[in-house]
Amino acid sequence: MCEGRRWQTRSREQTVEQTVIDGEINKGKESRVILRSCCNATGEMILTNQNTKSGQKIHYETNQKLFKTVDKKLHSMLPKALPWSKGLLGHCAVVGSGGILQNSSCGAEIDNADYIIRFNLGPVTNSKDVGNKTHLMTINPSQIRGYPNLTKDPQPLANRVAVYGNASLLLPAFSYQFSTGLSLDVYHSLQPLRPNQKVVFFNPNFMLNLDRKWKGQGLKEPRLSTGLMLASVAMELCEEVHIYGFWPFSLDLNHNPLPHHYYDNVGPNKGVHSMPDEFLLLLKLHTQGVLQLHLGRC
């Protein structure tokens, strides 16, 4: 009889545990459906031959009165399809640049993911902490300006991106007008030197819809960070989402000082993003089981 009671107790505990797990899975699925219905990274995150037609007008994200007409040359630069068109991506790692990654020993765990997203040409030299595998890497237009002779001498940029293997390079070519020429220069400069490394462009409509979605839930910053954008993409496209290096504070959880980035201590431009507010949003999603924030040593 006592054995029976113990068995029943364990059974109830297992039921509660399974209910919690199922709740987290359902919350993740719910977020995936919401993001797909509002923003559709599945079919719209980057410009492709499938979602962009020759002769179409691409309106700029930050000024809808301005547009770029897709000519045959631009259309030929777009990929035929999205890299995830065959289904969910599985276990994804979204790797920010926060100083919290220093001495984290998270590199092996990050590299074990099925799909790895990184930002703004973040270095992967310290592979013990940040790993070195990359599938998608963003480039900020301001970084391209660091290569003023790009069209005449593309080798320095080619050498820099070579460390990411054949990762796709993602640029916001149609956020601002000045971004377009810089982004197209990256494409034309790298294509002869690194033909297997795709240069792809954010779809400004996707960025607008994502902006409306999060601002509708209380964010008041002028622009979403690229980090929150790609974390949102991962929430829609991945079965599991693991977030590393997202920590906008100068002290870690044990009150030890941290640099702003794991590779330098250069702070952000003021008045553009609201990183603490974005972090609180991600923390809320973490507590709901939608994603997993990693804030300590691995």
Radius of gyration of the chain (CA): 21
As given in the structure block, the two tokens for residue 1 are 């009889």
User: What's the pTM?
Assistant: 0.88
Question: Residue 273: pLDDT band by 50, 70, 90 thresholds?
Answer: low
Question: Residue 5: pLDDT band by 50, 70, 90 thresholds?
Answer: very low
DSSP state of 203: -
At 48-80, the pLDDT tens digits run: 999 999 999 999 999 999 999 999 999 999 999
Percentage of residues of the chain with pLDDT beyond 70: 89
Mean pLDDT of 280-297: 95
Question: Catalytic residue among 242, 273, 286, 294, which?
Answer: 273
Phi, psi of 257 (to 5 degrees): -65, 145
- The full set of domain ranges for the chain reads 26-294
Task: Assign a CATH topology to domain 26-294.
Answer: sialyltransferase cstii, chain A (3.90.1480)
pLDDT at residue 84 in the model = 80
At 249-265, the pLDDT tens digits run: 999 999 999 999 999 88
Mean pLDDT of 171-186: 96
Whether 156 and 189 have beta carbons less than 8 Å apart is answered as no
Question: Is position 273 annotated as part of the catalytic site?
Answer: yes
Question: Residue 44: pLDDT band by 50, 70, 90 thresholds?
Answer: very high
At 124-152, the pLDDT tens digits run: 998 999 999 999 999 999 899 999 889 99
CB neighbour burial string for 271-291, b if at least 16 within 10 angstroms, e if fewer: eebbbeebbebbeebbeebbb
At 77-105, the pLDDT tens digits run: 999 988 787 778 999 999 999 999 999 99
* Segment among 14-18, 208-212, 279-283 with least mean pLDDT: 14-18
